[in-house]
Structure 1
């Protein structure tokens, strides 16, 4: 009887939470907005490339308050906010602007499971934009700057022995009034610039670990010598502790090895199954930390055997290669925005949907544009088989832009703080995703937005990760560095510069617009680089441009990016509407021409 009463109280509490929360505003929504369970928001494990069995999700309804900057923690809160949706988003239930003169406060309680007794407890944040300060039980335990990289704190010393623990987070985000990486966020959204994203926008979670535990795993393949190099970072180890790496194909062990912390494990991978968009095979990877003969920590991971490179072909054209074969990379500009969640997809199913549709359209690549996605997005790309060009989100002001010649002007001079912030966050972004096989290219700058010290940044990026290509400045101020010369041209493809020593790529083109009533973010200010009235007209123009690209691929281009996957706010140049409810082009015709372009180098 008592147990039934407790279950009833819990059910009534859940119903009350649902009743109190609803999407804010009257903007269009995706189909997944209706599937949100406020008591189970984004319940999937948030870091699948390094997974442990035990964890606790802290997503859901938190208290929130917006105060003037510099004030003490508020005694009362303004209401509830659904984490991890940014406060400006509809799905947060708030949809309020914060700005550089205000601060956003979050508060909730949590209980540490009794089964975690004797364990360290780590508090993880997938991403918070921009400056976060964190308190546990009224003790400030740390802070973090950066809107696109994950961070965590060991909260064990600050947790009381039993009962509820009080968690408070304060966020300040100057958006376009600051120098920090922010992508396309702006206080006054218009044109290609969108609504600000302030605060927590990825999963918040707790994880128990032992005193001695694994903190990171990096796996770098080498298909030329049939090997895999694995480095595990560990915490709390003493002399004699080792970590073991086991590589598996299904239930079969392919290879294994051990090393002490600070040393790499080199695994042989005979007869390797190579990863590609056509065959995205993933090996399982088990990593164990062993102390005094006992396993004190273990994580599950995965890896892939694949190689990205470039090479001059028999016609003197530098081609991008995948697994030592010429491979034309073709995909959409994917900005990762949602009308209801802004930076945050409503569900994991929604997050995966855009990738699946990219595959359905016949593309083999995605350019993730001036945004970094949650870790699960990259795992979906790894599993489904899609190449990823990963942009660094831009920030600071823009210097002069020379896009039709090699740069001969004066570059932006950032302040020491701005420069240090860029370098720190760019390194964190690369380090977090170093093991994702889908990522084949780093893009540190786009169209001169905040571009500085290009030659130095590109050289540093290449040295930091020698396993990938670097596109130094997509459509930006061009230098003879990195692995690509990247041109932008709208609406149709055009080659106005050519580089005989690097791959020449078309980093953006297209932007064919079609506004569909009842699927618009704004009804009075929609635009595309060219506008048409119906799906057939748009599809015909898309195919016309793709046929031109096909010819240019034969004579010089080695990759191309079409703008774009979906409409975004006032832009109506997507292959799909912003709410993902309508595919605007003839999918079969688009897939046919896209596959023709992707296979253009197979015809030699």
Structure 2
């Protein structure tokens, strides 16, 4: 019966999501609810924290704040006049941007900022960094193009040293084009006409913009990979070097006490063995500090600070021979919410760093040990908070170029339904997926990569999955969460067989692939409770199954947990509950969209969830 309900639900959901655009369409919400942090935003200096905690330098300047903006027809020349002020890094459609205007595929968004760069900061090179801009970005410095970047979720930078004026005053202009769902690029849940589970577009700069002042020869990238079995770290760096002989020196500190050091040729991987190694886990998220120096002779030319953690995510077997996920060699049932990372006031951008950490902290207080970051990538600081707190992360690739058929079958979605993408579309996906994996390889909290979700734009599943496994063998790969699965011999390609079902928990049939794949319930639940005064709109809100009181909601959730517990001894290795917060018209969050109401007693949830980790 549950399987039959599952099929009916998927058929219903598929029909629900492909309704004509004019149904449930809405304009930008120009009177949204606000989170508690909205009033704390300094429009002249938001998000002042150092944006790249995995590679820290002291000499930098934050460019967040007030910029000029203009919306012009696509292909127009640079604007002579601007239309007003926008607060960077909030997307132009958001309340916190101060603008709240749509852009669309037929127009481009332009930014301008005039700034001064002191002569002392120009002795080496000047790098202009963008945490993320959605989607195609061209940067001009003093009227000259610094370069073009495509990708809405990966950080990028330009060396602008040669484009600077002789004086201290400089002008930066940024052109952004974002077609949202009129283009094939990764976009996640954004759609031009928001409805049901699809949300307001996010256009332009949505993460921190900053200048970094570096020497002529400098460290351009750091990659730290743990080898938990041997108590080692592998440190790899990229450097931009002038002629000469350079040496890389690495020191490792544990609570300010140096515990290891080594040096070697720049550009070569260095291994460091840590005496009496301490593991990183959800109970004890131990981090080591790194000091990485580029030296010429005995002189330190450049230096960055970083950190790392010794942890291992792997596959083991339970007493029945079923596959389980292990953290540091011990089986761990992973349970967490589907986390979409949206904000009523900032859309993709949290109002403050405190707000960014809030969802993680509250999730942990509720007794979850994992978060599935759903078809969105967060700023580096979000993962840094997860690293410090000991929160495991499953990281989705943002979806795009959707429209392929999702065909439900009992127990498995059959192969052969991959989308035929154009060469351009394939290239865009592959380029950005690699860039995301490169940019976020550092963070030990990330334990699973998820290339596809529910067949949304899914293509060449076997090729993409195997490439992902080969490119980062230190993590597990969930090839298609709830999507179309590819058979590889007698197993699903990738490490995980992941089904979705609402509202009740189910699991993939243990008889099919339970001893050759990790069995996962990648989405379930979705219990809805609209809370008056805390909804995106006053009526017509939506949940997979809605309730009128918190008591009714909790009672139904308790039944879900009872059913979920019964699946663990059968081989279920992880589950994901939908979802952390309400998002726009969806009201199935553990918290309201504005984060002002937690719909469940936190301690009750924690007690329920702790019981899941004790089931054998």
From 579, 582, 600, the equivalent of 2:597 is 582
From 194, 197, 203, the equivalent of 1:192 is 197
Please say which of residues 254-263 and 384-393 is displaced more in the overlay.
Answer: 254-263
1:437 aligns with 2:448: no
**Which position in structure 2 is the counterpart of 1:493?**
505
1:150 aligns with 2:165: no
Deviation of the 1:262 alpha carbon: 2.8
**Which position in structure 1 is the counterpart of 2:579?**
564
Q: Is the 8 A contact 2:118 2:168 kept in 1?
A: no
Q: Is the 8 A contact 1:363 1:598 kept in 2?
A: no
Q: Is the 8 A contact 1:493 1:506 kept in 2?
A: yes
Q: Distance in 2 between matches of 1:59 and 1:24?
A: 24
Look up the SS of the partner of 1:554 in the other structure: helix
1:548 aligns with 2:563: yes
Q: Distance in 2 between matches of 1:237 and 1:382?
A: 35
Q: Is the 8 A contact 1:402 1:478 kept in 2?
A: no
Deviation of the 1:402 alpha carbon: 3.1
From 284, 297, 303, the equivalent of 2:308 is 303
Q: Distance in 1 between matches of 2:414 and 2:427?
A: 24
Q: Is the 8 A contact 1:398 1:451 kept in 2?
A: no
Q: Distance in 1 between matches of 2:507 and 2:266?
A: 49
Q: Is the 8 A contact 2:266 2:294 kept in 1?
A: no
Tell me: CA distance 1:137–1:341, structure 2 relative to 1, closer, same or farther (3 Å). same
From 162, 168, 175, the equivalent of 2:173 is 168
Q: Distance in 1 between matches of 2:64 and 2:550?
A: 40
Q: Distance in 1 between matches of 2:417 and 2:42?
A: 52
Tell me: CA distance 1:28–1:406, structure 2 relative to 1, closer, same or farther (3 Å). closer
Q: Distance in 2 between matches of 1:237 and 1:157?
A: 16
Q: Distance in 1 between matches of 2:416 and 2:458?
A: 12
Return 5+ residue gaps in structure 2 as ranges.
Answer: 1-27, 487-491
Total equivalences in the alignment: 579
Tell me: CA distance 1:403–1:269, structure 2 relative to 1, closer, same or farther (3 Å). farther
Q: Distance in 2 between matches of 1:368 and 1:29?
A: 22
**Which position in structure 2 is the counterpart of 1:17?**
none
1:418 aligns with 2:425: yes
Q: Is the 8 A contact 2:122 2:213 kept in 1?
A: no
Q: Distance in 2 between matches of 1:279 and 1:403?
A: 41
Deviation readout 1:118-159 (Å, 9 max, x if unpaired) = 120000000000001110001111110000000000000011
**Which position in structure 2 is the counterpart of 1:471?**
478
Look up the SS of the partner of 1:379 in the other structure: helix
Look up the SS of the partner of 1:286 in the other structure: strand
Deviation of the 1:296 alpha carbon: 0.5
**Which position in structure 2 is the counterpart of 1:481?**
493
Question: Normalized against structure 1, the TM-score is what?
Answer: 0.94
Deviation readout 1:440-498 (Å, 9 max, x if unpaired) = 00000000001000000000001100100000000000121111001100001012433
1:407 aligns with 2:401: no
From 427, 433, 458, the equivalent of 2:465 is 458
Q: Distance in 2 between matches of 1:599 and 1:350?
A: 32
Return 5+ residue gaps in structure 1 as ranges.
Answer: 1-22
1:591 aligns with 2:598: no
Segments of 4+ in structure 1 off by > 4 A? Answer: none
Deviation of the 1:406 alpha carbon: 4.4
Look up the SS of the partner of 1:344 in the other structure: coil
1:340 aligns with 2:341: no
Q: Distance in 2 between matches of 1:429 and 1:503?
A: 24
Deviation of the 1:598 alpha carbon: 2.8
**Which position in structure 1 is the counterpart of 2:366?**
361
Look up the SS of the partner of 1:290 in the other structure: strand
Deviation of the 1:272 alpha carbon: 1.0
Deviation of the 1:585 alpha carbon: 1.1
Please say which of residues 108-117 and 483-492 is displaced more in the overlay.
Answer: 108-117
TM-align CA RMSD: 1.2
Look up the SS of the partner of 1:521 in the other structure: coil
**Which position in structure 1 is the counterpart of 2:266?**
261
Deviation readout 1:36-74 (Å, 9 max, x if unpaired) = 112221000000110001110100010001111111111
From 67, 71, 74, the equivalent of 1:66 is 71
Q: Is the 8 A contact 1:221 1:305 kept in 2?
A: yes
1:182 aligns with 2:197: no
Deviation readout 1:277-297 (Å, 9 max, x if unpaired) = 111000001110011321110
Look up the SS of the partner of 1:376 in the other structure: helix
Look up the SS of the partner of 1:420 in the other structure: helix
Q: Distance in 2 between matches of 1:77 and 1:471?
A: 46
Q: Distance in 2 between matches of 1:242 and 1:537?
A: 64
Look up the SS of the partner of 1:595 in the other structure: helix
1:428 aligns with 2:435: yes
Deviation of the 1:525 alpha carbon: 2.1
Tell me: CA distance 1:489–1:24, structure 2 relative to 1, closer, same or farther (3 Å). closer
Question: Normalized against structure 2, the TM-score is what?
Answer: 0.93
**Which position in structure 2 is the counterpart of 1:10?**
none
Q: Is the 8 A contact 2:115 2:171 kept in 1?
A: yes
Deviation of the 1:521 alpha carbon: 0.3
Deviation readout 1:5-56 (Å, 9 max, x if unpaired) = xxxxxxxxxxxxxxxxxx9931100010000112221000000110001110
Q: Is the 8 A contact 2:413 2:483 kept in 1?
A: no
Tell me: CA distance 1:550–1:357, structure 2 relative to 1, closer, same or farther (3 Å). same
Deviation of the 1:543 alpha carbon: 1.4
Look up the SS of the partner of 2:468 in the other structure: helix
Look up the SS of the partner of 2:600 in the other structure: coil
Deviation of the 1:237 alpha carbon: 4.6
Q: Distance in 2 between matches of 1:140 and 1:162?
A: 19
Q: Distance in 2 between matches of 1:322 and 1:232?
A: 27
Q: Is the 8 A contact 2:508 2:520 kept in 1?
A: no
Q: Is the 8 A contact 1:504 1:556 kept in 2?
A: yes
1:207 aligns with 2:222: no
Instruction: Give the alignment of 1:92-241 within 5 angstroms.
Output: 92-241=97-246
Q: Is the 8 A contact 2:141 2:173 kept in 1?
A: yes
